[in-house]
Amino acid sequence: MRQFTLAEKYTFCGKGLHTGLPCRMTVSPAAENTGIVFRRIDLGEDAVVKAVAENVSQTSRSTTLSSGNVDVHTVEHLLSALTGCGIDNALIDLDNAEVPILDGSAEPYVSVFKAAAQDAERVYFDVPQVIEIRDEKSGSWVRIEPAKTTSYEVTVDFGSKVLGVQNARWNGGEDYSSQIAPCRTFVFFHELEFLFANNLIKGGDVDNAIVIVEHPVTQEQLDRMTDLFGQRRLTVSGRGYLDNLTLHFPNECGRHKLLDLIGDLRLGGAFLHARVSAFKPGHSINTKAAAAIRALMAKKN
């Protein structure tokens, strides 16, 4: 398998989910063996940060990469899309600190990305031994096992009567663009006011997130949230979701957690030959698993 880059430049404009700041982002072809590199053009031509695990600086609600004074927030959806599209090398220019959230999924990327083959061979990492990262407090774990091909499987359990326990799977040979990419980020209604109060999801609105209503809410609470979003009056569907969106899949939230895991593990710096399984994955444990991959790669080299 040869390496691939993008066939042309692609530009996306929107606001960051957490900062609420507008951003113009251009994803461009890059030379062989470049990997994925972010560049903050508002800070200068040399303000770059490579998409590798040692540059992870923050994992609360999203994954942030930092190098010196260069920060890039919420990189996971774009990294997932590049991985799902089989892109090895890309240069991503941003004029602000956070990747635009767009519709909360990876679909806006995969719907336009076209790949172009390069001469160099792709760098696969054949995982030589089992990697297992556990969080005893949350019960979360990520397990990466040697395999000849690549597969991902997640189980998501928030103790939610609305979501239940959701499972999602993706094999590297299956269609990422239709099965994983359209799955949007999600949030529980009872978290929203706290997140707003703590300067998070400033760019959240009813077009880029599934909102799960786990507990009974009053119309006053719904109206207050409508005001925060600056949108039409919202109601709760019989299934326990705000009526702002229609689910693409019954397990869309589980599939989105899988989307995030694929993106975070790309910070391992290579395409994997491995069987990846995870229980209650999140950005913190995902990126620790990516760091463990990097450590094994360094030993091998």
Q: Which positions are annotated as active-site residues?
A: 283
Is the distance from CB of 102 to CB of 14 less than 8 angstroms?
Answer: yes
Looking at the chain, how many residues does it have?
301
Beta-strand pair 210-212/186-188: parallel
If DSSP codes are grouped into helix, strand and coil, which group holds residue 42?
Answer: coil
Contacts of 52 (CB under 8 A, 6+ apart): 35, 267, 268, 269, 294
Is the distance from CB of 177 to CB of 82 less than 8 angstroms?
Answer: no
Q: How far is CA 50 from the centre of its chain?
A: 16
Taking CA atoms, 175 is separated from 31, 124, 182, 204, 248, in Å, by 26, 20, 12, 28, 15
Euclidean distance between CA atoms 205 and 289, whole angstroms: 31
Of 55, 79, 52, 51, nearest to 68 by C-alpha is 55
DSSP structure string for 210-254: EEE--S---HHHHHHHHHHHT-S---B-TTSBBTT---SSTTHHH
Q: Please name the amino acid found at residue 212.
A: I
The structure tokens 């635009």 sit at: 100
Cα-Cα-Cα-Cα dihedral sign, residues 111, 117, 120, 126: positive
If DSSP codes are grouped into helix, strand and coil, which group holds residue 55?
Answer: helix
Q: What phi and psi values does residue 241 have, to the nearest 5 degrees?
A: -120, 150
